[in-house]
Structure 1
Amino acid sequence: MSPIDRIKSYARELTALRHDIHAHPEIGFEEVRTSGLVADLLQGYGIEVHRGLGGTGVVGVLKGRSDNGRRIGLRAELDALPIEEATNLPYRSTVPGKMHACGHDGHTTMLVGAARYLAETRDFDGTAIFVFQPAEEGLGGARAMIRDGLFERFPVDEIYALHNAPNGPHGRLKTRPGPIMAAADFFDIRIQGRGAHAAEPQRGIDPIVVATALAQAMQSIVSRNADPLKSCVVSITQIHAGAAYNVIPESAHLAGTIRTFDGEIREMAGLRIRALAEGFAAAYGAEIAVELRDVFSVLENSAEQAAAAAAVATELFGAENVDADCVPRMGSEDFADMVMAVPGAYAWLGGTPGPGLHNAAFNFDDSIIPLGSAYLARLVERRTAA
């Protein structure tokens, strides 16, 4: 029996788990219920469990039929997003303002499914390490687990992760050697002006005017400062200022993100934001403070592990459903920090096309749970035999 068929035999249980996690979302470093649920399931399968890594992370350790020294890591994320869900699903979020809008509920479920399969079959040598990571959504969960000694306490020869792709095609796996996801910096720009009556703007320094002018100027960084042959995105995602119709406020706040694959472009974008802020502060007589934070590194797949991921997917899904040299994405993933520490590979698995990631109408495609679980489990079986 193939791993897909075996896992399909308990797919209803896995789907129920996914719906339970979806209905009870927890954001980064708050995943107490979710991590406890995962840990209890792993223990029930006879897997050695370690709790509390990186705050709310869980690590499971499963030895195969013999110990050849090979140790393969598999990683999934636990956290949800601060988004108000806009679906009418029977298992929709029960927590106001929080939602699994990226599919981490599905990723966690797929790794639980792989762990159950491997625990039941033990058709592998060496050791499987199941890493359930908190706080992937920009809060540094991977770095927290690594600081907590993840790879010292649970050394692995290589590590793999899988993410759903709601743009499809259904059941198609995409990966590539080298860069697959962009680096990301988050920025906060705080503008201090001088408040005044809205009818007497000459008595103030209007931070809204400064903020909007600066936001417009920042759009020139990509079009006029970045090499057009190198990818760069600068997105302003928040503007906060004022609370009344007749008051020019004291301050304004801009926030957003920079996405790049190239270190020089990344540095340039940050320097240009600071230079523009300094110039606009002088031009308008305001004070502007810029904070830039390195949140995600470039996610670079190791060539050998990317090839192994493609080979396993080809075995399970057929060559027609594997893209071994996909186009990199400007999204970011803190699995990047794990593959900087040990060789590894990241892949996308297509679901039925629907609302995209981080969309309030997103819903993970349950039909790919057995596919993802089988892929992760087969990686352990094949790579411990390497």
Structure 2
Amino acid sequence: MTSRPFPAAMEATLSEILPALRETRQDLHRHPEIGFKEVRTAAIVAGRLRELGLEVAEGIGGTGVVGTLRAGNGNRAIGFRADMDALAMTEATGLPHASTVPDMMHGCGHDGHTTMLLGAAEVLARSPEFSGTIHFIFQPAEEGLGGAPAMMRDGLFERFPVDAVYGLHNKPNLPEGSFNVTPGAMLAAADIYTVAFGGQGGHGGSGPHLSIDPTLAASQFVMNLQAIVGRNISPFDQGVISVGHIGGGNYNAPNVIPSRVVVRGTTRSFQPQTRDLIERRLNEVARAAADAFGTTLEVVYDRMFPSLHNPADTTARISQALRSRFGGERVNDRVTPGMGAEDFAYMLEQSTGCFFFLGSGDGPALHSDRYDFNDKLIGDGVRYWMTIALEELGE
């Protein structure tokens, strides 16, 4: 398939600004900020958008920024979203632009996402070959803290109504420069559970029979959790239940039966009914273990992110637009769904649109201390946004 060229003025602008975009990305990487504390990052974003002549709103959902670009007389409005936050982890890349902030790093590429959307804002502001409105949404706190719902509670879509909203995330170990999506469920719902068993501590050597041992209840609970996936969820569906933390007693007192044991973990699912089933059965399995050994029980089940579902019609249309611009070999619209989670799912619950992965080639995985965003993706990331603008709002 022969690819359809972008307007010459847009390509000229992109070529001109690419070196500066790489510098911006590496500057953001040097100065990571975790969720709801993206003060410096948000100020850079807001300042740059103002320089481009966009209408700018700050402090949405904490540190979120929205820049609005209008052109022509079209009455459609679309949203482009990028996340800004880093992770609380120590970088081990040894790169010249490595993090200068202790125990923080851009280990997921949000520095690249922010940069690519800033680049798109500049190209589209300087070459507005579309008719309508684009809201550039720079979101805080994607990494588990709920930045998307925070912006929405702050009136994001009431203040900046959209007909569709779009997202993009880089993905290591997919072909470099490829665009990857699937209609329907693409990323999982992610929840966190905390289960506490309470008993009566005692001497583990001379008087275990005088105690009510919560370690037995916790152990049975952990072993029986996997039966939920194996025996309650259809083999044609998917679910994950994992234990990430078990805490009880004192390391320096191995002969003491603790009075309390806490088990924490995560669950993943794609379908709402499966999510409901996992929560219900987890509570039942915990209650059965507590009753069996006479312990008290506390269960907290926090629903964190919904499953990300791409609407079939919009996904097909944007996939075809990307094929037209980049060639069919660069677009995979049947990528395997993943058990990762993404709070852009909240936005797709309120609007149509879709969410793509941009393949970054071989390299360390997301959230690795050796990960670094692939700067070769910046140009095509900007072109992704250009493609959607031209598709949705016309040339």
Give the TM-score normalised by the residue count of structure 2. Answer: 0.92
Equivalent position amino acid for 2:371 in 1: F
Which residue, out of 331, 340, 350, partners 1:331? 340
CA contact (8 A) 2:9 2:127 kept: no
Aligned match of 2:195 in 167, 189, 192? 189
SS at match of 2:345: helix
Q: Show the counterpart of 1:147.
A: 153
Aligned-pair CA distance for 1:117: 0.8
Deviations 1:189-224 (A, max 9, x none): 122233334544614444444333322221221112
For the residue of structure 1 that corresponds to 2:75, the secondary structure is strand
- Match of 2:35, SS state, is coil
How far apart are the structure 2 equivalents of 1:197 and 1:101? 45
78-87 or 109-118, which moves further after superposition?
Answer: 78-87
**How far apart in 2 are the matches of 1:218 and 1:59?**
43
Mapping for residues 128-277 of structure 1, pairs under 5 Å = 128-200=134-206, 202=208, 203-246=210-253, 247-277=256-286
Amino acid at match of 2:268: R
| Structure 1 counterpart of 2:3 | none
Q: Give yes or no for the alignment of 1:56 onto 2:66.
A: no
Number of matched pairs: 385
SS of alignment partner, residue 377 of structure 1: helix
Task: Check the 8 A contact 1:316/1:375 in 2, yes or no.
Answer: no
Q: 1:120 and 1:16 mapped to 2: Cα distance?
A: 20
Q: What residue is the counterpart of 1:301 in the other structure?
A: 310
Q: Which AA in structure 1 matches 2:189?
A: A
Q: In structure 2, what is the equivalent of residue 41 of structure 1?
A: 48
Residue 94 of structure 1 is aligned with which of 92, 100, 109? 100
Provide closer, same or farther for how the CA distance between residues 201 and 16 of structure 1 changes in structure 2, counting only shifts above 3 A: farther
SS in 2 for 1:239: strand
Q: Is the contact made by 2:178 and 2:359 (CA closer than 8 Å) also made in structure 1?
A: yes
In the alignment, which residue of structure 1 is the partner of 2:4? none
Contact 2:178–2:330 (Cα < 8 Å) also in 1 = yes
Aligned residues of 2:218 and 2:289 also touching (Cα < 8 A): no
Structural mapping, 1:68-79, within 5 Å: 68-79=74-85
Q: Report 1:363-378 matches (<5 A).
A: 363-378=372-387
For the 8 Å contact 1:4–1:371, the answer to whether it is kept is: no
Q: Does the CA contact (< 8 Å) of 1:4 and 1:370 recur in 2?
A: no
Q: Which residue of 2 aligns with 1:279?
A: 288
Q: Percent of aligned pairs with the same residue? A: 43
| Alignment partner, residue 363 of structure 2 | 354
Structure 1 CA distance, aligned partners of 2:166 and 2:9? 21
Structure 2: which 5+ residue stretches go unaligned?
Answer: 1-7
Does residue 30 (structure 1) correspond to residue 37 (structure 2)? The answer is yes
The residue identity in structure 1 corresponding to 2:238 is S
SS at match of 2:384: helix
Q: Which amino acid aligns with 2:124?
A: L
Q: Distance in 2 between matches of 1:85 and 1:189?
A: 32
AA aligned to 2:94 is: N
- The 10-residue stretch of structure 1 (68-77 or 79-88) with the greater mean CA deviation from structure 2: 79-88
Moved over 6 A (4+): none
For residues 185 and 122 of structure 1, do their structure 2 counterparts lie closer, same or farther at Cα, with a shift above 3 Å needed?
same
> Which residue does 1:124 correspond to in 2?
130
Q: Which amino acid aligns with 1:72?
A: I
- 8 Å contact 1:3–1:374 — kept in the other structure? no
Report the alpha carbon displacement of residue 360 of structure 1 after superposing the two structures with TM. 2.0
1:3 deviates by 4.6
Q: Could you list the runs of 5+ residues in structure 1 that have no partner in the other structure?
A: none
CA distance in 2, matches of 1:82, 1:24: 13
- Matched letter for residue 334 of structure 2: D
Q: Give the Cα–Cα distance (whole angstroms) in 2 for the partners of residues 200 and 114 of structure 1.
A: 70
Q: Of the candidates 316, 323, 327, which is equivalent to residue 318 of structure 1? A: 327
Pick closer, same or farther for the CA change 1:367–1:341 going to 2, 3 Å: same
Structure 2: distance between partners of 1:5 and 1:197 = 76
Shift of the alpha carbon at 1:353? 1.2
Offset from partner CA, 1:349-376 (integer Å, 9 cap, x none)? 1002111122222211111011111111
- Which stretch has the larger CA shift, 205-214 or 28-37? 205-214
Q: What one-letter code is carried by the residue in structure 1 that aligns with 2:151?
A: M
Code of the aligned partner of 2:328 = A
Structure 2 counterpart of 1:214, one-letter code = F
TM-score of the aligned structures, taking structure 1 as reference length: 0.94
Secondary structure at 2:73's aligned position in 1? strand
Q: Deviations over 1:214-260 (max 9, x none)?
A: 22221221112211110111122222333332244332322221111
